[in-house]
Amino acid sequence: MPSFYPASSEDRFVLVTEVGARDGFQSEAKFIPTEVKAGLINSLIAAGVRSFEATSFVSPRAVPQMADASEVMALIERKPGVRLTALVPNARGAERAAAAKVDMMACFVSASETHCQANLNKSIDGALADFAEFAPIAHKYGIPLRGAVATAFGCPFEGEVSLDNILKIVGTYLQHGARHITLGDTTGMATPPVVTRTVEAIRARYPEAIISLHFHNTRGIGLANVMNGLALGVREYESSFGGLGGCPFAPGATGNICTEDLVYLLHECGYETGIDLDALAGVAREVQAFMGRDLPGQFMKSGPRLKLTSLEGVRRAVG
């Protein structure tokens, strides 16, 4: 029977990819200063985060928040062992990303035709054609590719998504050299059974794929899905500081699972991430203060399980 817990010391490391600077900030109406974006990434690198989706080389007209992608990349303090990924939609974006010296290029295609049209203004086949066009650019510069499948666990317009569509997208990614595959819970519709059947279907067809899971907490079971992913042997997850984010093209979609809450869960279950959880929570509190509103993250508010409190000053029941 699959276990939630690491089977051996070699099985303990889980790679956490921080996506807040891209996925978390992209829908914010007020422009986040370039220095703030890069400064947060630098603080998270200092806290031990090794993998980031740092920015997106999309059209500034389409996503104004990402208009400073090259400037953000230039201000990040690079360290060995840290991977900076950027989202790219087409060949022009790939050339800009290569010039900015990204460590990995990511592309996403929705498994739902309707969401693909809403999000990219293209069909699935059209979006895959764009990927096939820019993949050689990444190869030319020796930059690895990541292929993401959006709405991999359900679509708010179509309901259940076709496993055939998912397998077709993954197969195209692999055909063009992207071994890293992210399954995106874009609209928070994932449940453990849906995650299991999707991961197992991909592994049965494409065992060479390196799977990462990207969950949202729309219906409150994001971390339950992580536990299920751990039992399936998945050791890569994407999350956002403070639980910030949400797809602007998906009705009712709320934020990503929270990075601090995810890391707390992993550490409590015996996994290693290389991340200083206290420092991570400090960065999340900085983000919350900067945003000027309460964010969904819980660990940054409550602290660890064994955090002790003095009785002095605590309200007591009397009488």
**Contact call for residues 94 and 88 (beta carbons, < 8 A):** yes
Annotated catalytic sites, by residue? 247
pLDDT of residue 2: 64
pLDDT of residue 134: 94
pLDDT of residue 116: 85
The residue written with tokens 């990503």 in the block is 256
pLDDT of residue 6: 84
pLDDT of residue 133: 95
Q: What are the backbone angles phi and psi of residue 173, rounded to the nearest 5°?
A: -55, -50
Q: Can you list the residues of the chain whose pLDDT is less than 50?
A: none
Identify the helix (H) or strand (E) that includes residue 95.
Answer: helix 91-99
Please give the class, per CATH, of domain 9-302. alpha beta
Nearest to 141 by CA among 66, 91, 210, 181: 91
pLDDT of residue 319: 54
Distances (CA, A) of 256 to 23, 113, 269, 294: 8, 22, 21, 15
pLDDT of residue 143: 98
| Whole-angstrom distance, CA of residue 141 vs CA of residue 254 | 36
Q: Are strands 51-56 and 15-18 parallel, antiparallel or unpaired?
A: parallel
pLDDT of residue 38: 98
| Whole-angstrom distance, CA of residue 87 vs CA of residue 63 | 12
Q: What are the backbone angles phi and psi of residue 167, rounded to the nearest 5°?
A: -65, -35
| Whole-angstrom distance, CA of residue 95 vs CA of residue 103 | 13
Residue type, 22: R
Dihedral of alpha carbons 37, 292, 220, 116, sign: negative
CB within 8 Å of 153: residues ≥ 6 apart: 161, 183, 185, 189, 190, 191, 194, 195, 198
Beta bridge mates, 148: 108, 182
Buried b / exposed e along 123-159 (16+ C-beta atoms within 10 A): ebeebbebbeebbebbeeeebbbbbbbbbbbbbbeee
